[in-house]
Amino acid sequence: MKEHKVGIIMNGVTGRMGTNQHLLRSIAAIIKEGGVKVSPTEIIMPDPILVGRNETKLKALCAQSGVEKYTTDLDSVMKDDYYQIYFDSQTTSRRAKGVEDAAAAGKHVYCEKPTAVDVETAVSLFKTCEKAGVKNGVVQDKLWLPGLAKLQRLIDTGFFGRIFSVTGDFGYWVFEGHSIPAQRPSWNYRKEDDGGMIIDMVCHWRYVLANLFGKIESVSCLGATHIPERVDEYGKTYKATADDAAYTTFQIEGGIVAHINSNWCTRPRRDDLFMMQVDGTKGSAVVSLRDCWFQPYSGTPKPVWNPDIEQPINFYEHWQKMPEQENFDNAFKVQWEKFLRHVVLDEPFKWDLLEGARGVQLAELALKSWAERRWVDVEDLV
């Protein structure tokens, strides 16, 4: 068996997302499965080292994941030629320096989004990696969610006819911490620590909408801070200075209008924490994180408005759930495997740092729209 062993510097994986999605459910899972299968006689085997500032957390994470190596000395592993990939899931404000140093050291770069706190820096990171000749990528995990993968199949078969409308709802109630502890970190709600719903989620909506439906041409956004005071991890009350909700409308090429509500102050009464409906001339679909329901033109009921009687139509009955035709793996893991194949086998990987910069750009424009209370056009990045 031919084995391509790939040393990976994993910086910042002591955080919630880094631990659960990138380490435990992606890299550790790939190792336990025997690597990425290239052929019956060839595999790619990741060999990670965990990097962070807290040695106690790193030791505990190694014990939990089965990874044997860790260090608090990032410079030492940056200088080690064994490690080919640098992965960054630190807080956003720390990311730029890590990526720049990695590119200078000749490491291929893979990182979380947002890739930077502003679009100028985000574009600069892409150019730095390209100039250094290193492969680069940004996490775009939602593209491989089972629900969106099923939706993509409907789009590819022409099920919708002409798509004209997309509506989405994302979010849940994040407890303030006064009586029940918050389930998200406090920095998410402090603008000075790069928190905020718009900078976090509009980057996601950019790649979801652009990959599924087409180029985003303009954006209109209204942000809000609905909960002005919260309690942090240490029991200290603090002022929430970042937006905790965003109501955003996008104009997409071909006349498609998309509207997505993103909210950490809502109590969902829907099938999942994220739901999206797509309407077209020949059919509609509704997706959750894992499932997809569809309704063709021929199966569409004909309601009549009459509030004086009980609604005679059970609208749920006219939707068909897509069957489970295959097993879907963890979305983060799927993209990790694609990036590893990109590094080792030079297979195509279109989700580079320029794609990450486009997400930061759209978030910046959404913030501008909110501040100026107007539509803002999305220009091409070069």
The pLDDT, as a whole number, for residue 64 is 96
Give yes or no: residues 30 and 148 share one domain. Answer: no
Domain residues for 213? 143-325+361-372
Give yes or no: residues 123 and 166 share one domain. Answer: no
For residue 225 the two structure tokens come to 């801070």
> Looking at the predicted structure, is the pLDDT value of residue 326 above 90?
no
Averaged over 358-368, what is the pLDDT? 98
- Report yes or no on 256 lying in a domain: yes
The CATH number of the domain holding residue 270 is 3.30.360.10
The pLDDT, as a whole number, for residue 80 is 97
Give yes or no: residues 282 and 197 share one domain. Answer: yes
The pLDDT, as a whole number, for residue 185 is 93
Averaged over 297-301, what is the pLDDT? 97
- Report yes or no on 367 lying in a domain: yes
- Report yes or no on 71 lying in a domain: yes
- Report yes or no on 209 lying in a domain: yes
Averaged over 329-353, what is the pLDDT? 97
- Report yes or no on 381 lying in a domain: no
Kind and range of the H or E element at 94?
helix 92-104
Give yes or no: residues 175 and 91 share one domain. Answer: no
- Report yes or no on 377 lying in a domain: no
> Looking at the predicted structure, is the pLDDT value of residue 296 above 80?
yes
Which of 11-20, 103-112, 231-240, 277-286 is least confident? 11-20
- Report yes or no on 356 lying in a domain: no
The CATH number of the domain holding residue 75 is 3.40.50.720
> Looking at the predicted structure, is the pLDDT value of residue 42 above 80?
yes
214 burial (CB, 10 Å; 0-12 / 13-18 / 19+) is middle
Give yes or no: residues 138 and 176 share one domain. Answer: no
> Looking at the predicted structure, is the pLDDT value of residue 382 above 80?
no
Local confidence band at 93 (pLDDT 50, 70, 90 cut-offs): confident
Give yes or no: residues 37 and 137 share one domain. Answer: yes
Give yes or no: residues 320 and 187 share one domain. Answer: yes
Are the C-beta atoms of 341 and 153 separated by less than 8 Å? no
- What span, in angstroms and rounded, lies between the C-alpha atoms of 213 and 279? 12
For residue 30 the two structure tokens come to 């790939």
> Looking at the predicted structure, is the pLDDT value of residue 171 above 90?
yes
Local confidence band at 16 (pLDDT 50, 70, 90 cut-offs): confident
- What span, in angstroms and rounded, lies between the C-alpha atoms of 139 and 312? 46
Give yes or no: residues 254 and 109 share one domain. Answer: no
Give yes or no: residues 131 and 48 share one domain. Answer: yes
Local confidence band at 63 (pLDDT 50, 70, 90 cut-offs): very high
Local confidence band at 77 (pLDDT 50, 70, 90 cut-offs): very high
The pLDDT, as a whole number, for residue 15 is 87
pTM of this structure: 0.94
Work out how many domains the chain is built from and give that number: 2
- Report yes or no on 382 lying in a domain: no
Q: What is the pLDDT of residues 126-170, one digit of tens each?
A: 999 999 999 999 999 999 999 999 999 999 999 999 999 999 999
Q: Is 337 helix (H, G, I), strand (E, B) or coil?
A: helix
Give yes or no: residues 99 and 171 share one domain. Answer: no
Helices (H) and strands (E) in the chain, counts: 10, 18
Give yes or no: residues 166 and 304 share one domain. Answer: yes
**Phi/psi class of residue 158: alpha, beta or left (left: φ > 0; alpha: ψ in -120 to 50)?**
left
Give yes or no: residues 178 and 319 share one domain. Answer: yes
41 burial (CB, 10 Å; 0-12 / 13-18 / 19+) is exposed
